[in-house]
Amino acid sequence: MNTGSKMKQLLRLSLLLTIVLGFYSACHNSKVTGHPGFIRDTATWYDAGRNRIIPVAIYRPAAKGTAGLTPVILSHGYGANKGGDYLEYSYLTEALAEKGYYVLSIQHELPTDSLIPMTGIPQVVRRPFWERGAANIRYVIDELKQRTPDLNFATLTLIGHSNGGDMTALFPQQYPGVVAAIITLDNRRMALPRARHPRVYTLRSSDQPADEGVLPTAAEQQQYGIRVIKLPDTIHNDMDNSGNTRQRQEIIAYLLDFLTH
């Protein structure tokens, strides 16, 4: 690559970082915040291999170190690139951190990204977005192994809601053998893995049906030990911070039961 090309690439990277970091500084205050039960730290990581920044929020227990903690990675639902979506599940990330989990929530959408297509076959036109999300998750896992190597990566668990659930469902099929378990909150498009490893668990809303083939049949659930739980009083859009106290408590209870058994 000649000097002119290198300069152009550096200028593009500088412009991208300026735009995106300015956008996120307006969305939230990036600093460590304390709480009696957990500590939250927000940061922006940079994947040089893909020339992509990845904002993250890390929630960890306040009363103990990180040695042996189960890492949990959360992927948010579609937010139309508005930003800040990785902070919209704090009821869940904070509760898990208080219970002793090391939780990292990823901001998958950047303001410079294309919007998800709303026409066409979702499994075709949205697949590149899920693949990008799976690549974000893989990068974050690799970074965690370097930054916090004393976590118990043998128990690594992914959680994803809606579009983030589709990324989560794709991940073990794209990167086999990396995670111990996946939990989806009402993913609707990407088929769940039919396998015993990783363990598969999904909570379903009362109002949004999954596409054909996404959920395992009753026979497949028995064969692979997959758990499919219907939430009769929780709609799809109430699985983030929009839900009421009862809905939040129900989701937290189900997830803790799965994580501890």
pLDDT tens digits for range 86-129: 999 999 999 999 999 999 999 999 999 999 999 999 999 999 99
Helix 90-98 to helix 245-259 angle, to the nearest 10 degrees?
Answer: 50
pLDDT for residue 61 = 96
pLDDT at residue 64, as a whole number: 79
pLDDT at position 13 is: 53
Upstream peptide bond of 198 is cis (omega within 30 degrees of 0): yes
Q: Look at strands 71-75 and 157-161 and give their pairing.
A: parallel
Please report, to the nearest 10 degrees, the dihedral formed by the alpha carbons of residues 58, 148, 50, 160 taken in order. -40
Q: Reduce the DSSP state of residue 112 to 3 states and report it.
A: coil
Q: Does the pLDDT value for residue 17 go beyond 70? A: no
Range in 4-8, 99-103, 210-214, 247-251 with the lowest mean pLDDT: 4-8
3-state secondary structure of 185: strand
Task: Report d(CA 12, CA 174) in Å as an integer.
Answer: 30
Strand blocks (E) in 37-179:
38-47, 52-61, 71-75, 102-106, 157-161
Percent of the chain clearing pLDDT 70 (strictly above): 87
pTM: 0.88
Beta strands in 64-138 (DSSP E): 71-75, 102-106
For residue 187 the two structure tokens come to 């993913």
The phi and psi torsions of 34 (rounded to 5 degrees) equal -105, 160
Two tokens at 242?
């929009």
Strand partners, 185: 161, 203
Q: What is the mean pLDDT of residues 63-75?
A: 95
Cα(89)–Cα(233) distance, integer angstroms: 18
In sequence order, what are the beta bridge partners of 204? 230
pLDDT at 2 over 70: no
Quote the CA–CA distance of 116 and 126 in Å, as a whole number: 7
Residue 25's pLDDT is 43
pLDDT, mean of residues 179-205: 98
Average pLDDT over residues 21-39: 58
Rounded Cα distance between 159 and 261, Å, is 16
